[in-house]
Structure 1
Amino acid sequence: MSEQREQTQQQAPQRRVVVVGAGMAGVQTAVALREQGFTGPVVLIGAEPHQPYDRPPLSKAVLLGKAEDSAFDVDFESLGVELRLGVEATGLRAGDREVDTEAGPVPYDVLVLATGAYPVTLPGSEGVPGVHLLRTLDDAARLKPVLERRHDIVVVGAGWIGAEFATAAREAGCAVTVVEAAGRPLAGALPAEVAEPMAAWYAESGAALVTGARVERLAPGEVRLADGRRLPADAVVVGIGARPATEWLAGSGIALGPDGSVTADDRLRTSLPDVYAVGDCASFPSARYGERLLVHHWDNALQGPRTVAAAITGGPAAAPAYDPVPYFWSEQFGRFVQYAGHHAHADALLWRGAPGDAAWSVLWLRDDVPVALLAVGRPRDLAQGRRLIEAGSPVDRERAADPAVPLKAALR
């Protein structure tokens, strides 16, 4: 532990840290604080009554009944972390240094916002029987019997969550139709030349993919499209995106971006003193990519808390700037899909293999420097490409486009 950090803790050994949000980002913040030597009180507030749990297994093992839950293997009692579960935060009064909750105000010296994101609902879906979201453990519990009964299911949205749920539903033997307003799956995440080949994965799995189709309304037992088609549906699963869960901060004085995210700085500090934000609810400036990023993925919720804990224990100057290479993965239709980086400002795209191959990847470059990589069944490409992105190393385009050449051997 650094001399500066020891001095900071000696000066304020009993500062009370309150973490709002008991998902990955909140739990890892509490764990990182203890790992980095913080000895003061830590309170972890979660809106759900369940023991804190990991979300990725919800669309896989938990949904298919292969696991009862996905609780974190964390001994909060031995860490000295006070859990307050089933308690929803309703407001923040920074002047009083208090978080308002359904159970009363909670005072803090340092506050960490880790409330995550909530799924966007389909207009007109409220109150319609058989309409589901998939974000929480309770959502998965409601969907398990739907899969067990092999219902006809319509999935609205062919993004990452829609594809993962469709994969699980097909594995369970359900008839699945996926409706997407755009002309291809993953339209908001990947360029057309990369995403369009993925449409074939749906048919291969036995799922129907309907693109360029807007849902006009949901009715019991069916989904009505704007072009007049009616799709039979014992159940409907909506997966059309997520927004930061920050409405409860209205009137607090905290700065929010147009996307609803808390606008944190490169140490994940917010516009309010002694208030940090991490995970799905927070955006941060990336010097690597020259823009503010909002990353709704597991790895961001795992990495960010280390920066927050370092800033709390040693002071912001002791914390490294938070500027990760974003990373996520998705398991869909028998394929392991991984992505690292941010391709928005790339000026070239290299294919490593063909999209019809069992395994392939694409590499995005800017001035011959890799900025992002998508790997389908090529985990070595992902691992090596991620290191190249982190190092900012230029590559030889001809060698980098040869799938037989390891990416680490394509350095210029």
Structure 2
Amino acid sequence: MSEQRQSGARRAVIAGAGMAGVQTAVALREQGFTGGVTLIGAEPHQPYDRPPLSKAVLLGTAEGSAFDVDFEALGIELHLGREALGVRPGDHVLDTAAGPEPYDVLVLATGAEPLRLPGAEGVPGVHLLRTLDDAERLRPVLARQHDIVVVGAGWIGAEFATAAREAGCSVTVVEAADRPLAGVLPPEVAAPMAGWYADSGAVLRTHARVRRVEPGTVVLDDGSTLPAGAVVVGIGARPATDWLAGSGIELGVHREVVADAHLRTSAPDVYAVGDCASFPSGRYGERLLVHHWDNALQGPRTVAANIVGSATGEPLAAYDPVPYFWSEQFGRFVQYAGHHTATDTVLWRGDPSGPAWSVCWLREGRLAALLAVGRPRDLAQGRRLIEAGAAMDPRLLADPALPLKAATA
């Protein structure tokens, strides 16, 4: 490494101005990085937080969700409306729509992009919900109380359906699988959530695929039709990494950037963080790709520590979090911590037909993951128990009257 790169004069460039990118820039300053910090975002808006988009911004109770960060005071150079086009690792250059950006260290934080409904591109009234512009386009749709069809009963689909019902819209949610959250939760855990749709006045149609979308109508694979003043597509997301083609940076099976335990990529002086990157978890013994807000908040601290530490010879920090996310849907606060597999033992705490219950996943007697509905104390204690690798007593754990921390073996 050159003398310049070992000094405080190094230049850090961050591609992506969402949560992960902004937090990386802030963390670099907080951890004493004195070199130049350049933050590059494709959108023209001041960097903003995404969770409010699915409710507060949609319903008009908030005009936006810009981060409360004084970039100028922190000495962070902010370039908006500038798309990243490629990386030349050998030259230490990030190519952008406005020209090349040389770097000493580069952080990839371009997040994820929503999957589009095949055949629906260009059809009037078809929407995605990922950006501030998406939310602004949907706000008047809700205000007019259109008939709305939501394609996909995942987290985003449920949250949008919740907001649309609160706005007084007629809502039908179309899901190809046999249940909501089919790719995330096992059938017995997702089953109680199916009833939440009807309770809110929304219609959930499972085993239903969209054949085509016409202006004002959705045609399903069984030939039935649904009136649709608007169609909102929430069928998942994928890492936004197409722009890295030809860079030589290793991508994984989901087209995500493959990062190591220190969030370094296969290219020298290039890190990756947030939705666009996977990392090996020593805790769970597998590579994780986490598309949630908390990952974009926590990972940047590790990246910043390793950028600063690489110049001083300090040991690199490993990134091995307990994944966490939450969702507000149909009047319920749903939280999840950890990571479960189909072979883990499922244990219930409370009645899933009631307003508050939890599900625990045990692996070799230890808590691997926890889903809490209306039980935030379970989540808080469970997250700490997962971090500690505590052995649990299943009999005590199944008693919802007992605190989780009292169920250790």
**Interval of TM-score (by shorter of Structure 1 and Structure 2):** over 0.9
Percent of paired sites with the same residue: 77
Instruction: For 1:289-304, list aligned pairs within 5 A.
Output: 289-304=284-299
Aligned residues of 1:351 and 1:363 also touching (Cα < 8 A): yes
Specify the code of the residue in structure 1 equivalent to 2:148. Answer: I
Aligned residues of 2:86 and 2:96 also touching (Cα < 8 A): yes
Aligned residues of 2:344 and 2:362 also touching (Cα < 8 A): yes
Specify the code of the residue in structure 2 equivalent to 1:168. Answer: A
Q: Is 2:84 the partner of 1:79?
A: no
Other-structure match for 1:368: 365
Other-structure match for 2:205: 210
Question: Which among 209, 232, 242 is matched to residue 237 of structure 2?
Answer: 242
Question: Which among 253, 276, 281 is matched to residue 281 of structure 1?
Answer: 276
Q: Deviations over 1:40-76 (max 9, x none)?
A: 0000000000000000000011111000000000000
Instruction: For 1:295-374, list aligned pairs within 5 A.
Output: 295-315=290-310, 318-344=315-341, 346-374=343-371
Q: Is 2:164 the partner of 1:169?
A: yes
Q: Is 2:16 the partner of 1:21?
A: yes
| Distance in 2 separating the partners of 1:60 and 1:268 | 32
| Distance in 2 separating the partners of 1:247 and 1:347 | 35
Specify the code of the residue in structure 2 equivalent to 1:42. Answer: V
| Distance in 1 separating the partners of 2:247 and 2:35 | 25
Aligned-pair distance for 1:320? 2.0
| Distance in 1 separating the partners of 2:34 and 2:343 | 45
Calculate the TM-score normalised by the size of structure 2: 0.98
Instruction: For 1:104-143, list aligned pairs within 5 A.
Output: 104-143=99-138
Aligned-pair distance for 1:249? 0.2
| Distance in 1 separating the partners of 2:210 and 2:267 | 41
Q: Deviations over 1:68-107 (max 9, x none)?
A: 0000000000000000000001111111111111111111
| Distance in 2 separating the partners of 1:310 and 1:27 | 15
Aligned residues of 1:59 and 1:168 also touching (Cα < 8 A): yes
Aligned residues of 1:23 and 1:116 also touching (Cα < 8 A): yes
Aligned residues of 2:5 and 2:104 also touching (Cα < 8 A): no
Aligned residues of 1:221 and 1:233 also touching (Cα < 8 A): yes
Tell me the SS of whatever aligns to 2:24.
helix
Specify the code of the residue in structure 2 equivalent to 1:214. Answer: R
Aligned-pair distance for 1:13? 1.3
Calculate the TM-score normalised by the size of structure 1: 0.97
Q: Is 2:370 the partner of 1:377?
A: no
Aligned-pair distance for 1:309? 0.3
Q: Deviations over 1:167-212 (max 9, x none)?
A: 0000000000000000000000100000011000000000000000
Give the 3 Å change call, closer, same or farther, for CA 122–10 of structure 1 in structure 2. closer
Aligned-pair distance for 1:367? 1.1
Question: Which among 14, 21, 25 is matched to residue 30 of structure 1?
Answer: 25
In structure 2, stretches of 5+ residues that fail to align are none
Specify the code of the residue in structure 2 equivalent to 1:126. Answer: E
Give the 3 Å change call, closer, same or farther, for CA 101–399 of structure 1 in structure 2. same
Specify the code of the residue in structure 2 equivalent to 1:81. Answer: I
Other-structure match for 1:268: 263
Other-structure match for 2:387: 390
Aligned residues of 1:156 and 1:178 also touching (Cα < 8 A): yes
| Distance in 1 separating the partners of 2:385 and 2:11 | 40
| Distance in 1 separating the partners of 2:363 and 2:259 | 26
Q: Write out the 4+ residue segments of structure 1 that deviate beyond 3 Å after TM superposition.
A: 8-11
Aligned residues of 1:346 and 1:371 also touching (Cα < 8 A): no
Aligned residues of 1:345 and 1:366 also touching (Cα < 8 A): no
Give the 3 Å change call, closer, same or farther, for CA 142–36 of structure 1 in structure 2. same
Aligned-pair distance for 1:317? 5.1
In structure 1, stretches of 5+ residues that fail to align are 1-7
Tell me the SS of whatever aligns to 1:202.
helix
Aligned-pair distance for 1:379? 0.1
Specify the code of the residue in structure 1 equivalent to 2:45. Answer: H
| Distance in 2 separating the partners of 1:243 and 1:344 | 21
Aligned-pair distance for 1:344? 1.2
| Distance in 2 separating the partners of 1:347 and 1:249 | 36
| Distance in 2 separating the partners of 1:317 and 1:260 | 31
Tell me the SS of whatever aligns to 2:352.
coil
| Distance in 2 separating the partners of 1:303 and 1:226 | 42
Tell me the SS of whatever aligns to 2:199.
helix
| Distance in 2 separating the partners of 1:82 and 1:307 | 21
| Distance in 1 separating the partners of 2:162 and 2:66 | 23
Tell me the SS of whatever aligns to 1:95.
helix
Q: Deviations over 1:365-397 (max 9, x none)?
A: 011100000000000000001111000001110
| Distance in 1 separating the partners of 2:343 and 2:44 | 44
Query: Size of the alignment, in residue pairs?
Result: 405
